[in-house]
Amino acid sequence: MNWNRKIGVLAGACAMLLAACLPAAAQVTPSAAPAVQMSPSPVGDTSALAKEAQGWLMELIKINTSNPPGNEQAAAKYVAGILQKEGIAAEILEVTPGRSAVVARLRSAAMADPAKALLLVAHMDVVPVEKSRWTVDPFAAVIKDGYLYGRGAIDDKGMLAANLAAFIGLKRANLHLNRDVIFLATDDEETSGDSSVKVLIAKYWDKFAAGFALNEGGNVFVKNGKVQYIGVQASEKVATNVTVIARGPSGHASQPTKENAVVHLAAAVAKIGTYTAPVHFTTIVRRYFDGLAALQDDEIGKWMRSMDTADRGEHAQRVIADASPLWNSMMRDTIAPTVLTAGVANNVIPGEARANLNIRLLPGDTIDVLLSELNKLVNDPQVRMEVQPNAGLAAPPSSLENDFYAIIAKDVTMEFGGAPALPFQSTWLTDSAQLRLHNVQAYGLVPFPLADEDLKRMHGDDERIPLASFDKGVAVLARIVAEFAVTR
Ligand SMILES: [Zn+2]
């Protein structure tokens, strides 16, 4: 039996085991798409590595890195320790006191070209929990019914542990690399604050400069227990916060007037809530819907294909936008009022009332155009709008034509039983925008097949990852990284 065939047989046995031990909700069976020949991964069978990585993930969950305050330094030390045990020099980069990143490198040559390097990125911080709403301790890494529960199990400690596994797997395989592979664990992703990747790039860019990156941002979408498609994030929307400020005379609540700031603010927010921004398809979103139409039932598929037509386009866009908040947000700027502030006492009319609008612009759209529409709509001299500092910057999309994207697309299709890879423009933010602004071809792929029910738990209660999905994700990542770094 030659080495390649042995790997193939092993992979087949693992696939059967995988199906048998997956919880029903997370069963990942190949879709009805054409059979795809599974070739052996350059790093071989990763099932033992994935089990090891499950242990790393559990330890990472137990290190509470809720942001704020983050405290990523403890996680950074743990990650650096794992790398050092493998004989890989890991450097802890202090971003601000108590908040650190970790960087490590597998070298291809003494003087490798940074433009060819591949960067594996994941963030160490997590969003806070509402502990009383969880059924388990969010920082105890509880395993139940085939799932690992804990804050960060998916976002993004799952990916962090899988990146570590892919990186360490490559080191252990001792293959000749044709490009440097860099591991980077970032901090302060969730609030994009003073210690974020922007600051990290400003301080330490030369330590992890790369031409390509793999990060979170895209997902393996599962429908009815099958992988439906793999969304590979190549672009993202841009977040801006705008404060709506209503002013009026303050006074005694027993003698109200028509100028009450609270009433004017409420009316303005209600009008803004009815606003629908015009549709604008970016190249990536157009390609996404083109590919997705073929996977939908006839009715939705038909409307998806009609969105660009002159006669039925507008109606089609409405049908598709109404069918999914994700699809709606992929094709237009969106506005979500999120915070209202007014009043000091029940019997005092306040002189000022404020609302925060969280705005997600399509890359290429500007806040000024949107605000002039909103001002026209609100049309109230007592109300004005102020753009908040630290607005996101639009980054150019990553190319869909290079070798790296081709490998990702080919590998995920092979690993997920023929399901197609579709380019994806996320409505959410990732560190990749900052990387793209530094000429990095960054792609987002959380490689774990996840049902909608589990995806919704990210940033919510009882976040969990099916362990079989985690193991599969390790295999997928290890294959992509090794193929790009070894064979190209
Ligand atoms: Zn994340």
pTM of the model: 0.90
| pLDDT range class, residue 391, cuts 50, 70, 90 | confident
Please tell me the predicted confidence (pLDDT) of residue 34.
54
DSSP string, 166-223: HHHHHHHHTPPPSS-EEEEEES-TTT--TTSHHHHHHHHHHHH--SEEEEEEEEEEEE
CA of 125 to the centre of ligand 1 (A): 8
CA of 44 to the centre of ligand 1 (A): 29
Here the tokens at position 77 are 């030390």
Closest CA to 128 of 194, 59, 192, 65: 65
Buried b (16+ CB within 10 A) or exposed e, 3-32: eeeebbeebeebbeebeeebbebbbbebbe
CA of 256 to the centre of ligand 1 (A): 47
- Please indicate whether residue 487 or residue 473 has the higher confidence score (pLDDT): 473
CA of 94 to the centre of ligand 1 (A): 20
| pLDDT range class, residue 488, cuts 50, 70, 90 | low
The model's pLDDT over 185-206, given as tens digits with 9 standing for 90+, comes to 999 999 888 999 999 999 999 9
Evaluate if residue 16 carries a pLDDT over 70: no
The model's pLDDT over 340-360, given as tens digits with 9 standing for 90+, comes to 999 999 999 999 999 999 999
CA of 156 to the centre of ligand 1 (A): 5
Please tell me the predicted confidence (pLDDT) of residue 123.
98
Q: Is the Cβ–Cβ distance between 174 and 234 less than 8 Å?
A: no
CA of 222 to the centre of ligand 1 (A): 19
The model's pLDDT over 70-128, given as tens digits with 9 standing for 90+, comes to 999 999 999 999 999 999 999 999 999 999 999 999 999 999 999 999 999 999 999 99
Please tell me the predicted confidence (pLDDT) of residue 21.
40
CA of 430 to the centre of ligand 1 (A): 7
Evaluate if residue 2 carries a pLDDT over 90: no
Q: What is the mean pLDDT of residues 316-345?
A: 97
The model's pLDDT over 128-149, given as tens digits with 9 standing for 90+, comes to 999 999 999 999 999 999 999 9
The DSSP bridge partners found for residue 251 are 349
CA of 243 to the centre of ligand 1 (A): 26
Please tell me the predicted confidence (pLDDT) of residue 440.
98
CA of 169 to the centre of ligand 1 (A): 23
Beta strands, E only, 237-333? 238-247, 251-252
Q: What is the mean pLDDT of residues 293-319?
A: 96
CA of 345 to the centre of ligand 1 (A): 39
Evaluate if residue 250 carries a pLDDT over 50: yes
Please tell me the predicted confidence (pLDDT) of residue 35.
59
Evaluate if residue 390 carries a pLDDT over 50: yes
Evaluate if residue 367 carries a pLDDT over 50: yes
- How far lies 279's CA from each of 83, 352, 396, in Å? 47, 34, 19
Q: Is the Cβ–Cβ distance between 273 and 398 less than 8 Å?
A: no
| Maximum Cα interatomic distance, the chain, rounded to a whole number of Å | 91
CA of 434 to the centre of ligand 1 (A): 14
The DSSP bridge partners found for residue 360 are 239, 334
CA of 14 to the centre of ligand 1 (A): 29
| pLDDT range class, residue 447, cuts 50, 70, 90 | very high
Q: Is the Cβ–Cβ distance between 457 and 69 less than 8 Å?
A: no
CA of 428 to the centre of ligand 1 (A): 9
CA of 189 to the centre of ligand 1 (A): 7
CA of 478 to the centre of ligand 1 (A): 20
Q: Is the Cβ–Cβ distance between 169 and 482 less than 8 Å?
A: yes
Looking at every residue in the chain, the average pLDDT score rounds to 93
Q: What is the DSSP letter of 66?
A: B
Please tell me the predicted confidence (pLDDT) of residue 415.
97
Closest CA to 408 of 455, 452, 443, 382: 443
CA of 60 to the centre of ligand 1 (A): 14
- Please indicate whether residue 11 or residue 150 has the higher confidence score (pLDDT): 150
Residue 146 region, left (φ>0) first, then alpha (ψ -120 to 50), else beta? left
CA of 13 to the centre of ligand 1 (A): 33
CA of 152 to the centre of ligand 1 (A): 8
CA of 72 to the centre of ligand 1 (A): 14
| pLDDT range class, residue 229, cuts 50, 70, 90 | very high
The radius of gyration of the chain from alpha carbons, rounded to an integer in Å, stands at 24
CA of 116 to the centre of ligand 1 (A): 25
Q: Is the Cβ–Cβ distance between 405 and 211 less than 8 Å?
A: no
